[in-house]
Every structure is written in C-alpha cells, then in structure tokens.
Amino acid sequence: MTAGKGLEGVVATQTAISSIIDDTLTYVGYNIDDLANNASFEEVVYLLWHKRLPKADELAELKQQLADNMSVPQEVLDQFRTYPIKNVHPMAALRTAISYLGLFDEEAEEMTDEANYRKAIRLQAKIAAVVTAFGRIRKGEEPIQPKTDLSYAANFLYMLSGEEPEDIEVEAFNKALVLHADHELNASTFTARVCVATLSDIYSGVTAAIGALKGPLHGGANEQVMKTLMEIGDESNVESVIQGKLDNKEKIMGFGHRVYRQGDPRAKHLREMSRKLTKLRGEEKYYNMSVKIEEIVTSQKDLPPNVDFYSASVYNALRIDHDLFTPIFAVSRVSGWLAHILEQYADNRLIRPRAEYVGPGMQQYVPVDER
C-alpha cells in the first residue's frame, strides 16, 4: 500500500537522539522543558553527540573546541562579496558557504569516526561565524572575530553586532538554540540522513539539510511569521488581517505541525521570552499581536503555534535582521543534523523507498519527425 503523500505516520528509522511521544519532546530522554530551563547550548550539543550529559571537564573541553574552531577561511568570506545579484537570501548564502567550507577541510573525505567527529566540531563552530559574517559583510561591515571566553550563544550575538550582549539576551538566545537543536525525523534531518546513507560526506549531508530547512513549510516559517507581524503593523489590525488570510484559505505561518496535536512544547518557552524581551525593549506590540493571532488561529482552526511562531518576535527583539532567522535555526539544528549523520554512519543502510507508478502504460517510441 502507498504511504501518504507526506509519509505521515511512517516510521522510517530508529534513533536514540530525540523523541516525540504524546506531544512530549525529549533529547536522549531529557524533557525539553528541563533542558530549556537549565542547559547551555554546548551541553545540549554534547548530549546529542554523545547521548549523555557532559561532566564539567568534558563540557569545558567542548566549549574550548568550539571557540577555537570558529574562524572561517578568508576565501569563504570573500565569496560573499562576489554575488552578481543583490539581496541573496542568507539561507542560499549559507548553503553555498557550508558546501564551500568542505573544500578547505583536509579531512572532508576521511570517513573514520574520529575524523567525522572532528568535522562535526568544526562545522558547529564555523556555522556561527559564517552566518554572522554574511550578516555583516552584506551591509558593508567587516566580520568580527569570536571571543574565546564567551559562550556559543553570546559569541553569536557578539559576532553579529560587535557588542557584548546583555545577560537577558544571552539567556534568550541560548534558550532558542537549545529548543531548536533537534526534532526527531523532521524534513531537514531526514534529508541529511538520506544523503549520508549513500556514504556521502558530512558536508554534503549538512548542505542538503540546509536546503530542506530553507522552505517556509519548515524552518523558513520563522521569517514568514515576522513578515506577517510587519504586515499587521498594529494590534488593532490583527483581527482583520488574520481573518482575511483565513477566509482566503492562506496558511498562517508558525501554526500547525505534522506531529504535535495538542501543541508544540517549545512554543511556551519562546512565548515567555518574547513577553520578557519585547517588554524590555518597549516593543510589547509584537508580543501582543502574536498573542492575539494565537487566540484567533487556535479558536478558529484549532491549530496551536509551533516553534517558529514566537521565535520571530524573540529574534526581532534581539535586533536580528529578519532574513537571518532561518540561518539561526540552522546554527542550532546543525547540532541535531550532525548527531543524526553520525548515528546513520554508525549503522548504515542505503535509504531507497519505492514509488507507485501512476503514469501512462507501455508506449511505442515514435521518431521525432513522425510525432
């Protein structure tokens, strides 16, 4: 029997990295609420890659390795200045940059566990530098070198703005990174696993995953949520704009989910961060508009917000350009992609399902001048 068009409900592999059971999300058995409230992003990276939480010295070592590996070859930065068209989307630039980075990695084709782990560290470190450098270079600003004494979350914000972030900004950004790190067999992770199951290399797997994350039905939704908030503009317009979209059968970005039915457990953490940060900035309208949208969509369509919905107003309050929201998702999710890539290599089988043929029956070839 043919599976549903979107493979809904199909269990395509086994994983020990994360699970969604009865709308509860866990990373290696730890509830996402616990991790969001307590863990640093670096701890989560370690957890996903080693399937256990790090001891203090192991965490310190990983933090050091990430900080030490953030520099990016000059050639990768220089190519950001060469695009023939204006307004290249940062996800397109990121996809190219990660693929290009592979050309500077002496171990790119080395398939041992040790080499793959070293590449995972390099990719996790460099992706933050790539996204922040692109965000600056396109505005005519120079990239900023990371500070080795800052956390991963703080370094990202520092490399983007050039200013050391406040504690609350680091808290919000760290939480967002923790919440986006992994999510079972979502579309981009599945893409990464399919790619490396051919025994292709890590750079190919991550590049493919970035392409899948870019779309607005997946990671690209966070930028679209901000677009909706900007279009609404003012709290008084929420009802008319959202009702208009629903009447037109348009999707409201940041709502609905393929797996969650009662709601995405990550959304409440981002909602609370959005409340706090927008208040601090005197920009409560983005939070208030979001809450109103949630009320309308939940009551009319019975669709709760997903992780992308409140992350938009959080990143906006962190003064991040709207088209960098999805690259930030990739900065976090690469940790999950890498964990899944390593898990796939460890027990590999080519992923190659079948398709049910629904085209014409047998036909006779007719030469072109007789057609």
Ligand X SMILES: CC(=O)SCCNC(=O)CCNC(=O)[C@H](O)C(C)(C)COP(=O)(O)OP(=O)(O)OC[C@H]1O[C@@H](n2cnc3c(N)ncnc32)[C@H](O)[C@@H]1OP(=O)(O)O
175 binds ligand OAA (CB under 6 A): no
Find the catalytic residue in 180, 183, 257, 269.
257
256 binds ligand X (CB under 6 A): yes
- The tokens for 26 are 């866990």
303 binds ligand X (CB under 6 A): yes
Of the candidates 200, 267, 198, 300, the one whose C-alpha atom is nearest the C-alpha of residue 33 is: 267
In terms of DSSP bridges, do strands 30-31 and 24-27 run parallel, antiparallel, or are they unpaired?
A: antiparallel
**Do residues 197 and 349 lie in contact, with contact meaning Cβ atoms separated by under 8 Å?**
yes
Give the Cα separation of 12 and 258 in Å (integer). Answer: 15
Neighbours of 210 (CB within 10 A): 29
DSSP label at residue 71: -
DSSP helix/strand/coil, 123 = helix
Q: For the window 182-221, what string marks contact with ligand OAA as x by the rule CB under 6 A? A: -x--x-----------------------------------
Contact with ligand X (CB under 6 A): which of 257, 271, 275, 340?
257
Q: Which lies closer to ligand X via its Cβ, residue 48 or residue 77?
A: 48
Give catalytic status of residue 257 as yes or no: yes
CB of 320 to ligand X, least distance (A): 17
Residue 227 interaction partner, one of ligand OAA, ligand X, none, beta carbon < 5-8 Å per kind: none
Give catalytic status of residue 308 as yes or no: yes
Of the candidates 156, 190, 141, 262, the one whose C-alpha atom is nearest the C-alpha of residue 12 is: 190
Find the catalytic residue in 269, 308, 323, 340.
308
- The tokens for 15 are 């994983």
91 binds ligand X (CB under 6 A): no
253 binds ligand X (CB under 6 A): yes
DSSP string covering 285-319? HHHHHHHHHHHHHHHHH---B-HHHHHHHHHHHTT
Q: Which residue of this chain has its Cβ atom nearest to ligand X in the complex? A: 256
Residue 233 interaction partner, one of ligand X, ligand OAA, none, beta carbon < 5-8 Å per kind: none
Window contacting ligand X (CB under 6 A); options: 69-77, 230-238, 249-257, 273-281? 249-257
Residue 256 interaction partner, one of ligand X, ligand OAA, none, beta carbon < 5-8 Å per kind: ligand X
261: Cβ contacts below 8 Å, ≥ 6 apart:
23
Q: How many CA atoms lie within 13 A of 188 on its CB side?
A: 31
Q: Which lies closer to ligand X via its Cβ, residue 59 or residue 259?
A: 259
Window contacting ligand X (CB under 6 A); options: 34-42, 171-179, 232-240, 254-262? 254-262
For the chain, what is the largest distance between any 2 Cα atoms, rounded to a whole number of angstroms?
76
270 binds ligand OAA (CB under 6 A): no
**Residue 30, Cβ density class (10 Å: 0-12 exposed, 13-18 middle, ≥19 buried):** middle
Contact with ligand X (CB under 6 A): which of 308, 316, 330, 341?
308
Active site residues: 257, 308
**Site residues (vs ligand X, CB under 6 A):** 6, 217-219, 221, 251-258, 301, 303, 306-308
